[in-house]
Amino acid sequence: MKTNPTTHPPEEPGQAGGIRAIAREWLPVLLFLTLVLVARSTLADHYHVPSGSMEGALMPGDHVVVDKSAYGLRIPFSKTVLVDGDRPIPGDVVIFDSPEDGVRLIKRVVAVAGEEVSVVAGRVLTDGVPRVSRQAPTVERYGDRYVRLELEHGGGPNLPPVRVPEGHVLVLGDHRGNSRDGRMFGFIPETELYGRAKGVFWRSSEGPTWHGL
């Protein structure tokens, strides 16, 4: 007497095909989202300006493009640098976490390692030389960048001459009398800089725009 070979119950009609169809539909979406997350972690992102500490370069509510690879290409979602990038230079606008409370901030680098820096009445002196001129006492020069200071609320606290240690930068807000910055919390390690702000692409009063930094 012959016995029938063991058989498996047939799949529900269309069950396997439905699963494959869903996978085909969602896989590209998941891959795209993964690439976006990786790109935002390592290449570029945007920052929403929460306060007026960087007026007049930046206004509250501005949306800023940030080059996260400017100071080195990092392993996604970490601070480990795979490929070295540029060193920050005076005049750069940078993103970092406050050493006081971890809040993400945007400020301007005004001095780098090896420079002696001081701040008097809101104005920066590097190695004893003022960044402003007599002809333009509210405009600091950093190479080919001219930074207009906001001194409506005074210059904020002074900083006596101090030399920036190796691997660190001093950051200040352009609105010197309305900025909690390196005068209060000290130097920032270069390794803590997330990236360099490139420009404003959205301003509440203008909509889509471009103001380079």
H-run or E-run covering 209: strand 207-212
C-beta atoms surrounding 97 within 10 Å: 14
Q: In Å, how far are 108, 145, 182 from 202, measured between CA atoms? A: 20, 22, 27
pTM for this predicted structure: 0.79
Q: Are 85 and 193 in contact (CB under 8 A)?
A: no
H helix intervals, 151-202: 182-185
3-class state of residue 92 by DSSP: coil
Residue 100 pLDDT: 96
Q: Taking the alpha carbons of 155, 158, 164, 167 in that order, is the dihedral positive or negative?
A: negative
Largest CA distance in the chain: 112
Q: Are 90 and 109 in contact (CB under 8 A)?
A: yes
Residue-level pLDDT, tens digit, the chain, 213 residues: 454 555 545 545 555 566 666 556 655 544 433 333 333 433 447 799 999 999 999 999 999 999 989 998 777 656 676 778 899 999 999 999 999 999 999 999 999 999 999 999 999 999 999 999 999 999 999 999 999 999 999 999 999 999 999 999 999 999 999 999 999 999 999 999 999 999 999 999 999 999 999
- pLDDT, tens only, 57-80: 999 999 999 998 999 877 765 667
